[in-house]
């Protein structure tokens, strides 16, 4: 089974020689507070012996001292078509970032080696430290259920979601993200803007993040379809880019990003516009001299780039 090394941790297949240390480190009131409580050492030892017959279970040790501090696993969820991420750590080593450090390479392994699309994680709804970890890893809450006599929260991570995968690896740290703005104009030389249903809750251009491996042009056509319902077939024309400090965002969920955005122009083809009510609340064509005050700043900058291009061409 694949082994992993991080700056502070070593992750290796859980083996017979790990059992005594696992019982000592993990069979405590704190470590098992949300796992059904402390068990008799014999029962705990038997449970760990059963793990020896399963794949996808790693012991976690400190590199500098070889001290056993926990277990992380990727195993079948009780809903068999899912794979579940689980973890438990010695309470003596809480609060040092070891859980995040151990789980990140397992998520990468699930995506790159196992080719999984989704992994789930289940934790007691009262286990706030575990929930904070999952949310930092960009898991999203799917539902709650009653299991093991307690309310459980089920989270999932879509590994083919580029942003989710990226955030699972770097957390909330500031990153550069590549995006597109689609400037759609009609025969009256008006520009189409959307009233956004997601942060920032302002008017803005059609657009979004470029997916991994996607071309800028393909991203334009995809975003236009997702946010307006338009099936544009004309090739979009590159008009310019925006980047730098004016394109920084600190989102309510803690994520930080600098957006490097390519702006493309395309003519409106007359199709009916479709509002999904989630990402997009309204779609309106505006005159360039009567744009809404509540307009995303970087989008205002992109419109200025477009207008300057129009002046150059005429």
Same-domain status, 124 and 192: no
pLDDT of residue 269: 87
pLDDT of residue 23: 94
Domain CATH code at residue 131: 3.40.630.30
Same-domain status, 222 and 200: yes
Percent of the chain topping pLDDT 90:
67
Same-domain status, 131 and 230: no
Helix pair 98-112, 128-136: axis angle to 10 deg: 50
Same-domain status, 159 and 203: no
Cα–Cα nearest to 293, from 216, 204, 163: 204
Same-domain status, 277 and 217: yes
Contacts 24+ apart (CB under 8 A), 205-211: 205/181, 205/263, 205/296, 205/299, 205/302, 205/303, 206/181, 206/182, 207/179, 207/180, 207/181, 207/182, 207/261, 208/179, 208/180, 209/162, 209/163, 209/177, 209/178, 209/179, 210/178, 210/179, 210/180, 211/162
Same-domain status, 131 and 263: no
Tens of pLDDT, residue by residue over 174-194, are 999 999 999 999 999 999 999
Same-domain status, 149 and 11: yes
Measured in degrees and rounded to the nearest 5, phi and psi for residue 76 equal -65, 135
Same-domain status, 257 and 159: no
Same-domain status, 11 and 136: yes
Identify the domain containing residue 251 by its residue range. 175-313
Cα–Cα nearest to 34, from 84, 102, 86: 86
Domain boundary among 170, 187, 216: 170
- The helix/strand/coil state of 136 is helix
Tens of pLDDT, residue by residue over 116-159, are 989 999 999 999 999 999 988 889 899 998 888 889 999 999 88
Domain boundary among 127, 146, 170: 170
Distances in Å between the Cα of 55 and the Cα atoms of 70, 148, 159, 288 are: 16, 24, 21, 61
Catalytic residue among 84, 282, 294, 312: 282
pTM of the model: 0.64
pLDDT of residue 232: 83
DSSP assignment string, 143-205 = EEEEETTEEEEEEEEETT-HHHHHHHHHTT--EEEEEEEEEEE-TTSEEEEEEESSSS-SEE-
Q: Is the pLDDT assigned to residue 171 strictly greater than 70?
A: yes
Domains contained in the chain, number: 2
The larger pLDDT score, comparing residue 30 to residue 246, is at: 30
Strands 140-147 and 118-124: unpaired
* Known catalytic residue at 282: yes
- Residue 254 is given by DSSP the state S
> Cα angle vertex 82, ends 79, 87, to 5°?
100
CA distance linking residue 112 with residue 31, whole number of Å = 31
Query: Cβ contacts of residue 241 below 8 Å, gap of 6+?
Result: 260, 261, 262, 263, 305
pLDDT of residue 243: 92
Q: Where are the alpha helices (DSSP H) in the chain?
A: 19-26, 41-51, 98-112, 128-136, 162-170, 216-228, 297-313
Provide the token pair at 126: 């009262």
Same-domain status, 148 and 224: no
pLDDT of residue 313: 55
Same-domain status, 11 and 145: yes
Domain boundary among 128, 143, 170: 170
Percent of the chain topping pLDDT 70:
98
Q: Is the pLDDT assigned to residue 314 strictly greater than 70?
A: no
CA distance linking residue 84 with residue 274, whole number of Å = 37
Domain CATH code at residue 194: 3.90.79.10
Same-domain status, 157 and 185: no
CA distance linking residue 218 with residue 200, whole number of Å = 24
- How long, in residues, is the chain? 314
């Amino acid at each position: 089974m694949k082994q992993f090394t991080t700056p502070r941790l070593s992750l290796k297949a859980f083996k017979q020689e790990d059992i005594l240390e696992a019982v000592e480190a993990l069979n405590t009131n704190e470590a098992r507070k949300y796992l059904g409580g402390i068990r008799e050492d014999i029962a705990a030892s038997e449970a760990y012996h059963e793990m020896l017959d399963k794949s996808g279970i790693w012991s976690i040790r400190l590199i500098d001292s070889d001290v056993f501090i926990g277990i992380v696993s990727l195993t079948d969820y009780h809903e068999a078509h899912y794979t579940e991420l689980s973890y438990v750590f010695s309470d003596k080593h809480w609060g040092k970032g070891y859980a995040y450090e151990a789980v990140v390479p397992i998520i990468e392994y699930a995506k790159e080696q196992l080719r999984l699309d989704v992994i789930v994680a289940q934790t007691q709804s009262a286990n706030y430290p575990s929930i904070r970890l999952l949310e930092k890893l960009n898991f999203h809450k799917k539902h709650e259920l009653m299991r093991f006599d307690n309310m459980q929260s089920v989270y999932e991570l879509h590994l083919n979601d580029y942003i989710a995968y990226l955030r699972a690896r770097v957390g909330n740290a500031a990153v550069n993200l590549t995006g597109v703005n689609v400037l759609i104009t009609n025969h009256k030389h008006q520009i189409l803007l959307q009233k956004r249903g997601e942060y920032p809750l302002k008017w803005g251009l059609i657009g979004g993040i470029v997916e991994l491996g996607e071309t800028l042009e393909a991203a334009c056509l995809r975003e236009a379809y997702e946010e307006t319902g338009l099936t544009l077939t004309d090739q979009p024309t590159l008009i310019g880019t925006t980047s730098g400090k004016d394109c920084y965002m600190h989102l309510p969920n803690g994520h930080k990003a600098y957006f490097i955005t390519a702006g493309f122009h395309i003519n409106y083809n007359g199709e009916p516009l479709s509002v999904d009510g989630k990402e997009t609340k309204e779609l309106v064509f505006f005159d360039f001299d009567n744009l809404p005050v509540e307009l995303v700043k970087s989008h205002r900058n992109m419109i200025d780039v477009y207008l300057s291009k129009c002046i150059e061409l005429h």
